[in-house]
Amino acid sequence: MPVHNADITAIFSEIADLLEIEGANTFRIRAYRNAARILGDLPQEARVLVERGDDLTRLPGIGTDLSGKINEIITTGHCSLLDRLRRELPPAITKLLKIPGLGPKRVKALYHDLDVQTIEQLHRAAQDGRIRALHGFGAKTEQNILQAVQAHASQSRRFKLATAAQYAEALQAFLQAIPGVQQVVVAGSFRRRRETVGDLDILVTAAPDSAVMQRFTAYDEVAEVYSAGKTRASILLKCGMQVDLRVVAQQSYGAALHYFTGSKSHNIAIRRIAQRLGLKVNEYGVFRGAKKIAGDSEESVYRAVGLPYIPPELREDRGEIEAAGAGRLPQLVELSELSGDLHAHTKASDGHDSLRDMALAAKALGLEYLAITDHSRRLTVAHGLDPIQLAKQCDEIDRLNAELDGITLLKGIEVDILEDGGLDLPDGVLARLDLVVGAVHSRFDLSRARQTERILRAMDHPHFTLFAHPSGRLLDKREPYDVDMLRIIRHARQRGCYLELNANPERLDLTDSHCQSAREEGVLVSIDSDAHSTFDFANLKYGVGQARRGWLGKSDVLNTRSLAALRKLLKSTM
């Protein structure tokens, strides 16, 4: 069975959790957490690196021991250390860590003092009032736990887009290699590039004698087969993701792709238009009475109802149908149109590669420029730069630019926005930079008014250029801080600065709706990787997907400009 980065990440994260519950050495725990994060952010499959004989210890934070465990997991599908830890602790105890507000230390206390081993036992303990008596908990914490357990029970599992892609792309390649299979496409929310994906819908066209259904249900990663017929099958992967496969006739391929891509509200709106025209639209085609008039392609479906083709990322019934009817659909930005990246880190702060390595990796992707924006001094956990260190880095960038050909490094900093709206470094050093990327890294709990004013004051700083990951969210981990985003967007327009769309799959921040607002207000958005290693530039594709969902075209994106045009825009903000 192929092992994906997400599988290794899950194993290392569980090892770290179990070690912390056991009270193991802090540095050992941190090593596994860092390895999980690194592999989770790694765009390349570790399995592929192993298969071609690459030395995994060249990956940042991966030493000989961790490299051996990665090889063990890829080779056997198991990790002997995790197997041992699971034998030593209750098997369901790590599920408690899925409850917001419960870290390993609290889980350890609940286990040792109340013998709480499962979410059901946690729920009963909270209902019975037994948790509040534990040291470090209290009545308020107990109530928060009760509410969190109830909310958890009502949630269906979703996967981040980049995680879903690991399973979707492997399965797509598997199906495409089956004799007789002609077309394979992953539809649904995955095709619409939603931030998270609940399940996968796959459409296939194939020759009548193809064994695609039998091979699909026998796929190595299948945990359970829910149903299997001649044209439809549904399975559950071992990772917990449901996959539905449909084999469709070529003459109905476009109609089926439209139907199963969704969204539901978009499809309903299209069917209503069709009804007004005396037509019927379903997964088999477009019909006038009993006569089929379209359906072999998606373009034909839209054409039949009087509309141009609408890209999948826009199909959310948020004005795209009206815009299509009026000829106002945007020409959405493409990955190939990015000229550079304005947010990247090196090993000078919390990155893993040198200036030169980052520059050469960006050049290899065809980028014209790359902004080096290591953290400022206040973010001590990221080894942020003080004024002297930043000045030395600027000198190093100047020397490197004199040597490099085909790529230009821009001098920047990801500077902390302080609670009072000030910036973490003095004007003297900021004035030397090509751009200043401001970011909130602390006090996420400020009120909406105070958080908004804090950011507005920072944006008014004469050297402020770009507002990074504007909502501060981490998908499934941290909710966005409370801020008046429309006011932020409008202030950026007045001030003449820009907003970032952070392409890290953990963030995808700006949201699609805020991208659309920025476009409507005339504020340029920069699609940035926030790369912490040379591998992370591959995440730009997820940022582009989010930008397309937000209606952004090439002209709406700051870093589609040439270096000369960008310099003029950057100079105007400072």
Q: What pLDDT does 136 receive?
A: 84
Range 416-419, long-range pairs (CB < 8 A, 24+ positions): 416/375, 416/376, 416/378, 416/379, 416/384, 416/440, 416/441, 416/442, 417/441, 417/454, 417/455, 417/458, 418/378, 418/454, 418/458, 419/443, 419/446, 419/454
pLDDT band at 115 (very low <50, low <70, confident <90, very high): confident
243 with 232: CB under 8 angstroms? no
75 is a domain residue: yes
Domain match, 241 and 259 both: no
d(CA 353, CA 346): 5
For CA atoms 422, 425, 426, 430, give the dihedral sign. negative
398 is a domain residue: yes
Answer with the residue of higher pLDDT: 240 or 468.
Answer: 468
d(CA 204, CA 250): 9
Q: What pLDDT does 562 receive?
A: 98
pLDDT band at 87 (very low <50, low <70, confident <90, very high): confident
359 is a domain residue: yes
pLDDT band at 154 (very low <50, low <70, confident <90, very high): low
228 is a domain residue: yes
For CA atoms 360, 365, 366, 367, give the dihedral sign. negative
Domain match, 100 and 139 both: yes
330 is a domain residue: no
Q: What are phi and psi of 502, to 5 degrees?
A: -80, 120
Q: Which of 34, 3, 38, 41 is nearest to 16 (CA)?
A: 34
C-alpha count within 13 angstroms, C-beta hemisphere, residue 324: 22
The whole-angstrom distance between residue 187's C-alpha and the CA centroid of its chain comes to 18
103 with 97: CB under 8 angstroms? yes
d(CA 552, CA 364): 25
331 with 324: CB under 8 angstroms? no
Domain match, 261 and 358 both: no
CATH number for the domain spanning 103: value is 1.10.150.110
The last residue of one of the domains, among 247, 273, 300, is 247
How many residues comprise the chain? 574
The contacts of residue 83 (CB under 8 Å, 6+ apart) are: none
Residue 203 token pair: 């459409």
Domain match, 273 and 390 both: no
- Percentage of residues in the chain having pLDDT higher than 70: 99
Domain match, 259 and 168 both: no
Q: Which of 346, 329, 431, 443 is nearest to 396 (CA)?
A: 346
CATH number for the domain spanning 426: value is 3.20.20.140
What amino acid occupies position 266?
H
Domain match, 87 and 73 both: yes
77 is a domain residue: yes
Q: What pLDDT does 494 receive?
A: 96
Q: Using the predicted structure, report yes or no on whether residue 445 has a pLDDT greater than 80.
A: yes
Residue 537 token pair: 């530039």
The last residue of one of the domains, among 129, 154, 179, is 154
Q: Using the predicted structure, report yes or no on whether residue 259 has a pLDDT greater than 90.
A: yes
Among the residue ranges 98-112, 229-243, 381-395, 547-561, the one predicted with the least confidence is 98-112
d(CA 104, CA 19): 9
> How much is the pTM?
0.81
Q: What are phi and psi of 327, to 5 degrees?
A: 75, 25
Q: What pLDDT does 91 receive?
A: 66
Identify the domain containing residue 99 by its residue range: 5-154
Q: Note the pLDDT tens digit of each residue in 238-252.
A: 999 999 999 999 999
Q: Total domain count for the chain?
A: 4
Give the DSSP per-residue string, 539-550. GHHHHHHHHHHT
pLDDT band at 380 (very low <50, low <70, confident <90, very high): confident
Domain match, 473 and 557 both: yes
Q: What pLDDT does 326 receive?
A: 96
Average pLDDT value over all residues in the chain? 93
Domain match, 206 and 97 both: no
d(CA 54, CA 483): 45
Q: What pLDDT does 121 receive?
A: 87
CATH number for the domain spanning 230: value is 3.30.460.10
Answer with the residue of higher pLDDT: 254 or 17.
Answer: 254
Q: Using the predicted structure, report yes or no on whether residue 324 has a pLDDT greater than 80.
A: yes
CATH number for the domain spanning 293: value is 3.30.210.10
Domain match, 384 and 492 both: yes
Domain match, 100 and 220 both: no
SS3 132: coil
Domain match, 139 and 218 both: no
Domain match, 144 and 172 both: no
- Give yes or no for a cis peptide into 263 (omega within 30° of 0): yes
The last residue of one of the domains, among 247, 268, 297, is 247
Q: Note the pLDDT tens digit of each residue in 186-220.
A: 999 999 999 999 999 999 999 999 999 999 999 99
First to last CA, the chain: 54
